Amino acid sequence: RLKPFNRLQVILQHLKMSKQTDSTAEVLLEKRGGVGVITLNRPKALNALNLPMIRQIYPQIKTWEQDPETFLIIIKGTGGKAFCAGGDIRAITDAGKVGDRLPQDFFREEYILNNAIGTCKKPYVALIDGITMGGGVGLSVHGRFRVATERTLFAMPETAIGLFPDVGGGYFLPRLPGKIGYYLALTGFRLKGRDVLKAGIATHFVESEKLPALEKDLVALKSPSTENIADLLNSYQMKSKVDQEKGFVLDEHMEKINSLFSANSMEEIVKKLKQDGSPFAIKQLEAISKMSPTSLKMTLRQLREGASMNLQDVLTMEYRLSQACMRGHDFYEGVRAVLIDKDQSPRWKPAALEEVSDEFVDDCFKPLGNNDLKL
């Protein structure tokens, strides 16, 4: 028989686990065989990431990483619509307006979590079924495996709300083929389904109805290695016929994307787009003209610098940028226009690219002394 103390421990452990598998919890954490499973469980909010969720996921990843009985970590979302549509931006703006600490804590702890995923010693499989944007990209793209489905909708739309493609965007975007990453970051263009794989964001493509079977097979792997997991994912991908024949959505535009988005400044990109004058270029000009000029300049520099930095240095840089956005005007105005009043007419300050000075942008990148992100 268990000694009284041990019995209490077992009961407490059981209560802790059952509390977390309670369907009202925002994150469900469970162990299935040798597999740790993280389920984002805010379907009504499209599984948007908030600070309490970050504070549950981070220590759990760290625990599983150290646990010799855990061989693999899976992360997924509930509700069928979204893996994770982003961070809880509304809460951050509300807090930022009243000088609350949340904007410091949220970005700091979110980036620490992104880094934990990027450095995780255990294979990490993100099932990015449905909407995967912003903060949801940060929870998946730095992991070893990212499985897209025909329902995946990927975007980094931050420049439209006066922010920048953070969560390590400065690391993975410039490393995508050609200038795709710059294009996605500046225009907020959305990739769907198999195109998420073709752009190099996902590592695999599997039909969404096959995900439960895939998960079961992953759990059934005995002490799996990265190779075993890759083989299993490959075998599922081979069987996925959806949109197999279709070419990559950006194929016909790649030459233009690579030349137009390789310019050294936003003004030059706009000039090149105007000179090009093709329907594609005009469409990009329209998209860019809606974005925060400050965000565009910040983002272009973030990607150009991030291209030669490691993930830790990128996240440190992005934390500085996040705090600059919290001090500024455009983030609050962008959230108002897109998420609160939904009038889609943000009044940016400054309103034109030419009015965003290099000195101002330089200032956004300056170290924060004791407040810098420490990884």
Query: Residues with catalytic annotation?
Result: 87, 135, 158, 166
Q: What is the largest CA-CA distance in the chain?
A: 81
Amino acid at 305: E
| Structure-block tokens of residue 52 | 């309490």
* Cis peptide bond prior to 103, omega within 30° of 0: no
For residues 353 and 293, the answer to whether their CB atoms sit within 8 Å is yes
Q: Which residues contact 268 (CB under 8 A, 6 or more apart)?
A: none
Distance of alpha carbon 257 from the chain centroid: 22
As a whole number of angstroms, the distance between CA 205 and CA 233 comes to 8
What's the half-sphere exposure (Cβ side, CA atoms, 13 Å) at 63?
Answer: 13
For residues 329 and 295, the answer to whether their CB atoms sit within 8 Å is no
| Structure-block tokens of residue 311 | 């993930």
For residues 36 and 218, the answer to whether their CB atoms sit within 8 Å is no
For residues 333 and 351, the answer to whether their CB atoms sit within 8 Å is no
Q: Which residues contact 279 (CB under 8 A, 6 or more apart)?
A: none
Amino acid at 273: L
